[in-house]
Structure 1
Amino acid sequence: MRPIDEIRTALADGSAVILTASELKKRIAQGDTISDVDVVTCGTCGVMSGTYAVLSVPVAPPGAFSRADTISLQGVPAIPGPCPNERLGLVDLMVFGTAHADDRYGGGHLIHDLIAGKEIHVAVTSAGKNYEADVTLSDLPFARLFTTRSAFKNYSAIINRACEPEKTIFSALPLQGTSTQATVSGCGEINPVENDPTLRFLSSGTPVIVNGAGGRVIGTGTRSSTERPNLSVHADLKEMDAQFCGGFLTAAGPECITSIGTVIPVVDKDVLTSLSVRDCDIPMPVVDISDRQPVGTASYDQVWTGTATRVLYHPQRCLHCSPCDARTSCPVDAIREDGTINQIQCFVCGTCVQICKESAYEGNFGSIRSDRDGSGIPIVLRQSDRRRAEILCRKVRDMLVRGEFQV
């Protein structure tokens, strides 16, 4: 037993042993002792559709209009209200991370651009008249991000057993049929909920880091269950870091990237047992896209063990096609005009590796092996970025050391 007050004291005087989840798992794999560890930081980053923002946006001088009938930000439709802010020229609104301006820009992109400090064009209709304004996040008196469900304990691998390709939010390109491709989500052994499956340290009101900003757990999210729990969280947009969020293009339209980090104090053996979970221990249901019913079970070591942590570009293989299919299909617009990759922006999803016929882009993304037939199905898309989640784990650790985040 290690009382929580003792851990807080160790954090305050700088003597606490703090490991990221990845560092802890490496110790376990090497057979090293972990009994000296005080705190473990966990994180996840991926496409989380249930993300939305509540904003208060100045549009026009007081008295210009009574209340907004419609409003859009950078072309992304939002929902005005419920408070009308009558005659203040100010609109309270809700914008969904999955709202679409077009097939390449949506709510996730908008949230990222706001956090990045970019100017956003706002258009309002009221009583048949139009009002427009250009604003930045600093102009907004209120801006808060929420999730309805996020950080699922574990996700499912998606396949398409039908003959025809399927356009779906679970693939960047149409998902080919006859079980020839698989798409996956989830950061496996470093996911906060995977390391705290009973939500002992992730209950309502618990501090968490959302897109790099201090936030709180609201409670469990929609579709949460004892077997597959998830979280609802919130945090202030103005404190967020744009590298941990963004838009993600899918065959069915733009989706939203969100990141969540947390700390788990090692207060007893039960916590250590939960923290000892490895990718190979985590089952990943394999489901058919048509009805989302399980057709087998894989595991997360097939996704993350020995697979690509970055995509390599081989310019000597590149034919400089125009248009470049890899560039136009990249879900996060990480491929530059000359074919090189913006590694900071890259999500390491695998789309460019899948689509480039000349293999100018290289990366091992593995395959899933369902327990029902044992055959390997190539993974063509990862909708979670474990590399970025590990960066978040280190950020949370550094915040703990500096006293910017509390257990």
Structure 2
Amino acid sequence: MESVQKKIDSRRAKVYTASEFKDMVRRRDPSSREADVVTCGTFGVMSGTMAILCVPVAEAGTFKRADTITLNGVPATVGPCPNESLGLVDCVVYGTSRRDGSYGGGHLFRDMVAGKSIEVEVSAEGRTYRAERTLSEIPFARMVLTRGCFKNYTCFANFSDEDYATIFSGPRPLRRSFGEASVSGCGEINPVQNDPELLYLRPGASALLNGAPAMILGCGTRSSPEKPNLSIEADMHQMRPELMGGFRTSEGPECLTSVASAIPITSEKGLEGVSVLDEDVYLPVADVRDRKPLFREDYASVWKGTDHRVSIDPAKCLGCRECQADLSCPRDAKPSALRRNDLCMDCGLCTYTCVGGVFGADMGSVSFDGRTVPIGVRQSSRSAAEDLCVELKGMVENGNWKLRDVNGKI
């Protein structure tokens, strides 16, 4: 790995995005001499996201210790440090905590990173204290991914004869009787999918978490040799709002997180890892009611030959008084504006709910047990992940990447 780092530092490294390298693999078998680094990324719902904050609330001596705290109405857990009489509150906010059915921790994190003013409310000793703070006024804000970047995830369908409210859907319940499938995972460009034995993605390795320099802490909760995932941390002050956010489901808000890393090719084993293709990555299909995998598909059914981005045809807009695409958009991206913005993650729900057919995308389907079930919602964005890979490639080519945090800059 030292030789690869030297090539990066001198801007001599041969760098490919995951998609570029897969194109090469499909044409022929590349050798380890043809590439030094492959940049990989993923973007999607990652429930295991939390933030550790130290929030200045009031002057020292105003209250002894906080009992509760909310940020924009999202509840946080106070502690562990009591900060007695300092007017500060240490707290942990879960990405899955919620103010209501449409605003949760993921939305809060994006608003903070976007520089918006956050309403802080603290109860202490029977009194309530309020303040407004921006992220720049919060000296410590660290995001920790307790688990994410799964090697592969699961496709969910509703096997029952009733619509089913679930976190594995958009704002509407998952349709009954195999009416649609919900998928997560970016397939062949996912970092862990390209390093399945975690030869490189080990404690201390560098990554990007929501665009910020990050460090891999190790495996995350529920990680296993067959299905590994990662735990990662980064400073929220360096994150970018378009690479994170909230996602509304029929069971309440979830948290969107992005991860990218540059995989060095230092052995034939490493070359084998980055040569994986969507058609090689199996996709378990499960009944959403118990989440037990019953059938197997692959990620080619989701991402190969399908539309990674949703198209927009403004001429088809009927000008409905109540836009169904707006109501069903899990990101509140306002599809009725008829133009893309950085909230759109190409989940594809609008292609089903728009009455006029303004939005279009071939999102593929999964086949099992003699059935073909259309994919109705994507909780991961391959398009955003591919953009991340391109951005990281530029950083590596310009010598702005350390494979490990050797200088303690993170």
Normalising by structure 2, report the TM-score. Answer: 0.95
Instruction: Show the counterpart of 2:186.
Output: 187
Instruction: Show the counterpart of 1:22.
Output: 19
In the alignment, the residues of structure 1 paired with residue 7 and residue 352 of structure 2 have an alpha-carbon distance, to the nearest angstrom, of 48
Instruction: Show the counterpart of 2:156.
Output: 158
In the alignment, the residues of structure 2 paired with residue 140 and residue 377 of structure 1 have an alpha-carbon distance, to the nearest angstrom, of 47
Deviation for aligned residue 1:32:
6.4
Instruction: Show the counterpart of 2:407.
Output: none
1:90 counterpart = 2:60: no
Instruction: Show the counterpart of 2:98.
Output: 100
The 3-state SS of whatever aligns with 1:287 is strand
- What are the Cα deviations for residues 253-291 of structure 1, in whole angstroms up to 9, with x where unaligned? 110010111111111111111111000001000000111
Q: Which amino acid aligns with 2:375?
A: I
Q: Which amino acid aligns with 2:86?
A: L
Instruction: Show the counterpart of 1:221.
Output: 220
Deviation for aligned residue 1:315:
2.5
Instruction: Show the counterpart of 1:380.
Output: 376
1:241-280 alignment, distance < 5 Å: 241-280=240-279
In the alignment, the residues of structure 2 paired with residue 246 and residue 15 of structure 1 have an alpha-carbon distance, to the nearest angstrom, of 36
In the alignment, the residues of structure 2 paired with residue 170 and residue 203 of structure 1 have an alpha-carbon distance, to the nearest angstrom, of 29
The 3-state SS of whatever aligns with 2:147 is coil
Instruction: Show the counterpart of 1:401.
Output: 397
Instruction: Show the counterpart of 2:124.
Output: 126
The 3-state SS of whatever aligns with 2:387 is helix
Deviation for aligned residue 1:115:
0.8
Instruction: Show the counterpart of 2:408.
Output: none
Off by >3 Å, runs of 4+ in structure 1: 32-35
1:186-335 alignment, distance < 5 Å: 186-335=185-334
In the alignment, the residues of structure 1 paired with residue 388 and residue 64 of structure 2 have an alpha-carbon distance, to the nearest angstrom, of 43
In the alignment, the residues of structure 2 paired with residue 400 and residue 243 of structure 1 have an alpha-carbon distance, to the nearest angstrom, of 21
- What are the Cα deviations for residues 226-271 of structure 1, in whole angstroms up to 9, with x where unaligned? 1111011111001111111000111111100101111111111111
The 3-state SS of whatever aligns with 1:72 is strand
- What are the Cα deviations for residues 298-351 of structure 1, in whole angstroms up to 9, with x where unaligned? 110010012122222223322222221110210111125x44132432110011
1:43 counterpart = 2:60: no
Q: Which amino acid aligns with 2:394?
A: D
In the alignment, the residues of structure 1 paired with residue 11 and residue 48 of structure 2 have an alpha-carbon distance, to the nearest angstrom, of 38
In the alignment, the residues of structure 2 paired with residue 167 and residue 141 of structure 1 have an alpha-carbon distance, to the nearest angstrom, of 39
The 3-state SS of whatever aligns with 2:148 is coil
Aligned partner (choices 4, 7, 13) of residue 4 of structure 2: 7
Instruction: Show the counterpart of 1:353.
Output: 351
Cα RMSD, aligned residues only? 1.3
In the alignment, the residues of structure 2 paired with residue 295 and residue 187 of structure 1 have an alpha-carbon distance, to the nearest angstrom, of 21
- Amino-acid identity (%): 46
Deviation for aligned residue 1:359:
1.4
Which deviates more from structure 2 when the two are superposed, residues 185-194 or residues 4-13? 4-13
Q: Which amino acid aligns with 1:80?
A: V
Instruction: Show the counterpart of 1:389.
Output: 385
- What are the Cα deviations for residues 192-224 of structure 1, in whole angstroms up to 9, with x where unaligned? 000000111111121111111111111111111
Deviation for aligned residue 1:398:
2.0
Kept in 2, the 8 Å contact 1:183–1:383? The answer is yes
Kept in 2, the 8 Å contact 1:214–1:405? The answer is no
In the alignment, the residues of structure 1 paired with residue 3 and residue 217 of structure 2 have an alpha-carbon distance, to the nearest angstrom, of 27
In the alignment, the residues of structure 2 paired with residue 90 and residue 186 of structure 1 have an alpha-carbon distance, to the nearest angstrom, of 39
The 3-state SS of whatever aligns with 2:197 is coil
In the alignment, the residues of structure 2 paired with residue 11 and residue 339 of structure 1 have an alpha-carbon distance, to the nearest angstrom, of 43
In the alignment, the residues of structure 2 paired with residue 272 and residue 106 of structure 1 have an alpha-carbon distance, to the nearest angstrom, of 40
The 3-state SS of whatever aligns with 1:148 is strand
The number of equivalent residue pairs is 401
Deviation for aligned residue 1:62:
0.6
Aligned partner (choices 364, 367, 379) of residue 366 of structure 1: 364
Kept in 2, the 8 Å contact 1:320–1:339? The answer is no
Runs of at least 5 residues in structure 2 that lack an aligned partner in the other structure: 404-410
Instruction: Show the counterpart of 1:138.
Output: 136
The 3-state SS of whatever aligns with 2:291 is coil
In the alignment, the residues of structure 2 paired with residue 369 and residue 299 of structure 1 have an alpha-carbon distance, to the nearest angstrom, of 10
Which deviates more from structure 2 when the two are superposed, residues 287-296 or residues 51-60? 287-296
1:167 counterpart = 2:150: no
Which deviates more from structure 2 when the two are superposed, residues 32-41 or residues 179-188? 32-41
The 3-state SS of whatever aligns with 2:331 is coil
